[in-house]
Amino acid sequence: MSLFAPQPCRLTLAGGVRLAYHQSSGASPGVIFLGGFTSDMSGVKATALERWCQARNQAYLRFDYSGHGASDGQFADGTIGCWAQEAIEVLDRLTQGPQILVGSSMGAWLMLLAALARPERIAALLGLACAADFTHYLLWDRLDEHQRERLRRERVLRLPSPYGEPYTITWDLIEEAKQHRLLDRPKLPITCPMRLIHGMRDADVPWRISAQVAERLSGSDVRVLLLKDGEHTLSREQDLALLTRALGELLEGR
């Protein structure tokens, strides 16, 4: 057995940027994991889901957006629209048949955008600490006027992060995201089954965001699962157990 993790495969986009990904073959529907803002595909949830899917011979794919993890590109060049389009390209070019998208934090926003763009490909959605529209209420609204003016002038701002390296926030990220906001819409024409798991002790994304998303979905098979002691990362053993249980129910069509 090799002591080294396998090298990721590469998907080359039209502009030459290469996205890194790991893919396991298996039964349909496949499962695609969409990570969070500044996260990568080597995280606890992404790899735990991979092991779970492999154990039950379920097709699975995890990948890094441009500027994240092992993929090409600079993080500061990324926008919500760019990363959503990359998720759609992964869906279109690397998978066949119905897929279940599992989105974590920002990834849950991107999975909703992908589902709106490709409804015929989506069997179900599973959101974890859904951060739809987070560039507005987590980034812009939390800046003071001095920071906002500096961002307008310099077009980039670095903010401390509780998860490691400082966040790099660009003016383009904030402005471009406005056209992808979902909570301003009265209805989201998504009818597939959906589960939204959120921790009530999430210090980053209020759990009410998941409830607001659920309210706007056109489908009726929607459940919001709240963990009273759950935090944003949802990476504890009990969190992962709930995640895989919810995914199992979606795969079995319950």
Domain boundary assignment for the chain: 9-132+187-251
| d(C-alpha 195, C-alpha 121), whole Å | 17
| Tens of pLDDT, residues 32-51 | 999 999 999 999 999 999 99
| d(C-alpha 41, C-alpha 185), whole Å | 30
Say yes or no: domain 9-132+187-251 is CATH 3.40.50.1820: yes
| d(C-alpha 55, C-alpha 122), whole Å | 23
Catalytic (active site) residue 221: no
Judge if pTM exceeds 0.75: yes
pLDDT at 2: 42
| Tens of pLDDT, residues 129-158 | 999 999 999 999 999 999 999 999 999 999
CA quadruple 161, 48, 226, 109: dihedral positive or negative? positive
Catalytic (active site) residue 136: no
| Tens of pLDDT, residues 52-109 | 999 999 999 999 999 999 999 999 999 999 999 999 999 999 999 999 999 999 999 9
Q: Where are the alpha helices (DSSP H) in the chain?
A: 44-55, 80-94, 106-117, 134, 145-154, 171-177, 208-216, 237-251
How far does Cα 123 stand from its chain's mean position? 16
Of the candidates 22, 105, 180, 210, the residue annotated as catalytic is 105
Of the candidates 64, 202, 204, 239, the residue annotated as catalytic is 202
Catalytic (active site) residue 105: yes
